[in-house]
Structure 1
Amino acid sequence: MNHHVVFLFTLTLFLVSFDAKAQQNYTGNSIFSCKNDDKMGASPSFLYTCNGLNKSCLAFLIFKSKPPFNSIATISNLTSSNPEELARINDVNVLKVFPTGKEVLVPLNCSCLTRDYYQAETNYVLGQSPTYLTVANDTLQGLTTCDSLMRANPYGELDLHPGMELHVPLRCACPTWHQITNGTKYLLTYSVNWGDNITNIAARFNVAAGNVVDANGFSTQTQTIFPFTTVLIPLPSEPVSSMTRIVSDPPDVSPLVCSSKKCNSKRKLYTVIATTGGSMLVLCVVLYGVFLFRKRSAMFIKRGEQGEKSKKLSSEDIRGEIAIIEHHSKVYKFEEIEKATENFSSKNRIKGSVYRGVFGKEKNILAVKKMRGDASKEVNLLEKINHFNLIKLQGYCENDGCPYLVYEYMENGSLREWLSRNGSTEHQSLARRILIALDVANGLQYLHNFTEPCYVHRNINSGSILLNKDLRAKIADFALAEESESKITSGCASSHIAKSRGYMAPEYLEAGKVTTKMDVFAFGVVLLELITGKDAVTLQDGREVMLRAFIVNLIGKEDEEEKESLFIDPSLNGNIEKVWALQLVKLGLACLIQESAERPTMVEVVSSLLKTYTSYMEQIIPPSISNSPSMER
């Protein structure tokens, strides 16, 4: 009997304590200070607390469409969400472009990545005059906070520059035990607009106002809520597109809504307070931005040469400013490397001298590459470049004169390995292959045009292109990268030529000439590999045959279309796929023109691939969807 009493008492205490944390707390306007701390416990000024029944769940947020983030493609990229799921939940197709101010439902995987807070992870490349506050409140519309951004990134407030990539934790949460027992399945993070109040938000999402009050720790249904802050909406089922609306831009400041008749006499006063408060808030943000800009400008003047800095920046100067941004990689101890790779055990070997490593208490999975000779050139280059489609150097180590480079881990290995695997529906998707080509092209376009100095990779092939878990492509292996000014190398290393057979441009083989067009040539071969599924060099009747030469002999003949089956990957077996695959083959061959000056630039290649992808997707999407009135452009 006593045991039962003790058990019931313990269970009651557990449920009481659990229920005591069965809500999140609303931030109020504390998020605008960027100076909050959580030393005394988790603070809503950072993210939502890990108090849910599950440590990971499907969650939703609402993002308001605003150029350049006004399409399925750009919003999915900004939030790192699945574009197909994004299109489905909003009842549109993947080509949808939203009108400005349209609320877009975004499905995300929400997890307790730290002991204290839920978050969904994404990355954002900074634009002009960036601050943590403007990224949090303007770009991300309050879906992250200034304090959480500062904690997630190693850069100081005055060290943010255009082109730098920030890690962004998005605000999300999973339902508590109390909410689940009351029928809640999902929590939606809603960014408050001017004129919103608890009652009308609850009505829009067809949930009880009391549930919204409980979910956010409000004291009453009439508690004031502020724009740029977020409110959690407890939902019994997935949200639907009919719950969203177009928010006018710029919105008018509306009076606070009250249920009491006494509010009518005070409405004018509330309007004045809201307008004044909003104006003060905007003024504070502007002054804060001016303060950071002036201090940052002073720092730049001290760094550079004195004198003619008052002149206007040219496009070359701006490119230089973007290119000099460096992210500083971690210097690992060799003991950390050994522990992570289990002393370079064979079970952790990925390929050659590359090993899988599990680092730190967070169990971060990274790739460790044991280098030969001096790796300082590659490290210096990788610390200067910052682009999603270029492999990220996380850190390095040197032991007994041997360098070890630590990279982000790419779950799907090299493009060559992926193409050699058969049977997956992803392999049968032409759209997926075009997107991989676009990733590679975007990475090369960045190297050729947006670094200072601009670089030539010199080793583009299907083995140096890696795929992450989402089959996004990143260019790796920068050991041979050179500055892109036209120059003649002292000689062509035989090992380099042997390794890159089938990819080397004729002007490099003949005269050692290094320009961006040699990367264009190699990309052309990779594009042919993507469409044919074949290797760059194959054996035919006991002799080596270059893929490009094999296809050139078939293209341009009278019976060209009949011979498609001889070179287009059998996985791309639909008639529509074959038509567009042939167009991509022709783009690949344009990159392989003998005269380098006649080859397209990577800017032109990216443009062509984008047009091809859009046209192909428009053709395969059912007419009933593409002709629907919801397809605003």
Structure 2
Amino acid sequence: MPHHHHLAASRPEPQPQLPMPPHRHLVPLLLLLLPLAVSGSDADAGGNATSAPLACSELSRVCTAFLAFPAAGAGAANATLLESMFDAAPGDLTADAAASPGYAFVRKNCSCLPSRTYLANTTYTIPSSAAASGAAPNATAADVAAAAYAGLAVPPPGGAAQRPPRPGAVVALHLLCGCSSGPWNYLLSYVGVDGDTVESLSSRFGASMDAIEAANAMVGPDPITAGKVYYIPLNSVPGQAYAALSPPAPAPAPADNTLPETPDHHSTKFPYGWVIGGMGVALALIAIALLALVLWKFFGHNLQDPNNQGKSPDQHKFQLLKSGSFCYGSGRYLCCQFGNAKPTRADGGDHHTSVPKGVAADVFDKEKPVVFSYEEILTSTDSFSDANLLGHGTYGSVYYGVLRDQEVAIKRMMATKTKEFIVEMKVLCKVHHASLVELIGYAASKDELFLVYEYSQNGSLKNHLHDPESKGYSSLSWIFRVQIALDAARGLEYIHEHTKDHYVHRDIKSSNILLDGSFRAKISDFGLAKLVVKSSDAEASVTKVVGTFGYLAPEYLRDGLATTKSDVYAFGVVLFELISGKEAITRAEGDASSNSERRSLASVMLTALGKCPSSVYMGNLKDCIDRNLRDLYPHDCVYKMAMLAKQCVDEDPVLRPDMKQVVITLSQILLSSIEWEASQAGNSQVFSGLVAGR
């Protein structure tokens, strides 16, 4: 099956400037949104200087905890920011919109670490100007991080956090959290501010004063110290769903229902019945007139337009959904808009194709994608010139274009591929996540269909792994590879668990993982995605086998049963690709002849792991690690990722982890890799993100 290069950039351009490490690029925005959580004389304490992690005794204990973070209003922009800062999924955020100042509540898994303290993990990227964060000129990276997290985070001892804040440096952080040892379900980490008292916290969060004092080992009338973390006992999830909450519109002034006193004239009464009846008749006549106008507009137009003779109204559903501009959401494209949109004059009727009956109602429901004219598509791609061709896929070619001053990728499909076209729109107009490629809109002509996506400047992951130098790409560093794996895992976790309808992608592979300008990964190509059916046993969709060999799970090949565990298997193969730099179907090492034996990468890596007892004695596994890494990687982290990949490609789907477990493991590997990176401070190649070719 041909490889996809959907939306991937392979234009003959100079390599982009090396970006900052790909962890937190929203920090400058955060610094504009942060309120002053620490003020007055206590601010000199450094925010969390007086805060210590909560002690624990059960080293294996993991619980759900919440952190209260001061946020300047709930909205899509803040949600994206918080997800990035706290390594949180969209479903992990709630908001306290009614209170002032407002707080966002972040759900985290809190663990009892070997230090016998409760902590959660995250990472932080130092902004381009440390001064912008309000830190002192001689501040360390730890000081900058403490200011950004308003006292909720502390750095691990030693490492990069104690060095000067180098712009772009990634700092591993511990979040202060806690697990309840009393009768409460959760503990909420809250940083005290001036004016707080135990009584005010009790009133705000609905916890008793005795419970707050017990959870924080407070004796007597201890005051609340500004800048110190306190643990608030809770029995329910705090706040409400984190959405674009806007203040309610002011209620209209109540109507004056009191009638002025009038003399009681028994001989004359006002004819209220006649007035009400007359108004009813008038409204009915107006409704009939409007209905007649709508019918005349619709049918009269079709009868008078010679181009519409013999055509079904269903053939014009695309035209009824037109829009003249892009929609935006939180700085990213928002493909769907609400309500009916009018066609633009640029969209000639000759350029539109028919759509199967019921598509508009079934696919778009209340949300409708932006529609571009065929002329716009043609102009933006320079009439589909070879210079703008990005790649070929199973269902069409992908071109680079500039639409309304925005770089885009345009998938060009034959009209016979309507089914795949509709599936991709149906999925991408319902799911939105930073790790999923964003659909902007579509266009159609008599013979072709076009999908318009956000443009991924650094192409596909495949181009950076498999013989990158011959394609004009640089190989990725170990840190970049782990971050890309984590991004893709979060995207899969989102469609598997956090959407209203759960989906199986069915074509996860390195060519369908795209890299943006900061080398953050986005999953693309949802043309084969399938809605999974919930049952008492599992979520599955029986279908004909589609996808790419080398990535297909054994049970899917055998039974055609697509489940979320099928995607987990394919993701495991991608992990093996990230480690080895080899393709999913590979030839024997050192034998490039056309008739040499071809084996699945999964079988090659599993054989090597079978002879690798530990990360200390890596043996055959080391021979399988991508030579482009040039031994610039932490052996224990590579081993852990390889073992995770092994679990993902287990023959028994029941034994494979779900994507939530994969995300947790990769987060831990990333943090360990960052700590290793800090220990290699003298090696500039480690910090470059990209490894220069030999």
**TM superposition score normalised by structure 2:** 0.46
Bigger RCO of structures 1 and 2 (CA < 8 A, at least 6 apart): 2
**TM superposition score normalised by structure 1:** 0.50
Structure ID, larger Rg: 2
